[in-house]
Amino acid sequence: MKYAVVTGASSGIGEEFCRRLDQDGYQLLLVARRKDRLQQLKKQLHDAEIYVTDLSQSENCHQLFEIIKDKKIDIFVNNAGFGDCGLFCETDLNKEKQMIDLNIKALHILMKLVLKKMVVDDHGMLLNVASSAGLLPAGPYMASYYATKSYVTSLTMAVARELKEQHSHVYVGCLCPGPVHTEFNQVANVEFALKGISPQYCVDQALKKMKKRKVVIIPGKTIKTAVWFAKILPVRWVIAAVSRQQKKKIYE
């Protein structure tokens, strides 16, 4: 039996990963804070267990690993995270601290623990869910969120190179979508300024690219083009363009 773990499984991209992996015959562990959502999703799947926890608390990450450390993990989707929008001097510090704890600290802890196990087993695939925000130099009006996702993309690309040089069979990659039609914008207090993609399309592209061992996965032609231009244009132009887009989320 193939085994997969998905964090942030109660909605959006995480929920869609659960549905797709269930269809592909994986035994699943669904991880999130909202018990009612997890229970409802479990009823719709063939072989799934739930684990209710708040991964922004570091000790809970270690407790999760204790549950799965003796399993042969085929896929681990490091998806839990959220964003926020607004002027840096006006956004809520406590919310930002929780964002850093979840988007960075929890992801880092779980990535470290799970990858060490996978390397010993010489088996497994780990996907960090980042954002196209992590491939851009900065994001005015979503400054903290962009910074957290830059951490994720940088960490993922570095570790992927290490594994390649070690000739490991373990895969690690990061999913970097643009706007996706999920509950993200409600939590982040934004409205998308660009046309979004569906969670179904996002996950479909992710799974296809994972099989091809693509390290940085960017679903959607519009975002791929934007990221490409960001690489060749002066940084100050890119940041100014991002700022204009983010302002639309606040003021329109």
Answer with the residue of higher pLDDT: 252 or 172.
Answer: 172
Residue of 3, 145, 146, 151 with catalytic role: 145
Instruction: Flag the least confident range among 7-11, 21-25, 192-196.
Output: 192-196
Instruction: Flag the least confident range among 29-43, 114-128, 164-178, 236-250.
Output: 236-250
Long-range contacts, 33-40 (Cβ 8 Å, 24+): 34/10, 37/10, 37/11, 38/9, 38/10
pLDDT, tens digit, 9 for 90 and up, residues 37-48:
999 999 999 999
C-alpha 20/C-alpha 200 separation (Å) is 9
pLDDT, tens digit, 9 for 90 and up, residues 59-68:
999 999 999 9
Q: Which two tokens stand for residue 197?
A: 């993609």
Nearest Cα residue to 152 out of 170, 171, 169, 136: 136
145 an active-site residue?
yes
pLDDT score at 238: 80
pLDDT score at 155: 98
pLDDT score at 188: 41
pLDDT, tens digit, 9 for 90 and up, residues 199-238:
999 999 999 999 999 999 999 888 888 888 788 888 888 8
pLDDT, tens digit, 9 for 90 and up, residues 147-205:
999 999 999 999 999 999 999 999 999 999 988 875 545 444 555 445 678 999 999 99
C-alpha 4/C-alpha 59 separation (Å) is 21
Strand 75-78 relative to strand 2-7, pairing = parallel
φ/ψ of residue 10, rounded to 5: -85, -10
Q: Work out the widest C-alpha separation in the chain, in whole angstroms.
A: 51
Q: What is the pTM of this model?
A: 0.90
pLDDT score at 187: 44
C-alpha 135/C-alpha 230 separation (Å) is 9
C-alpha 157/C-alpha 161 separation (Å) is 6
Nearest Cα residue to 210 out of 242, 165, 173: 173
pLDDT above 70 as % of the chain:
93
pLDDT score at 192: 46
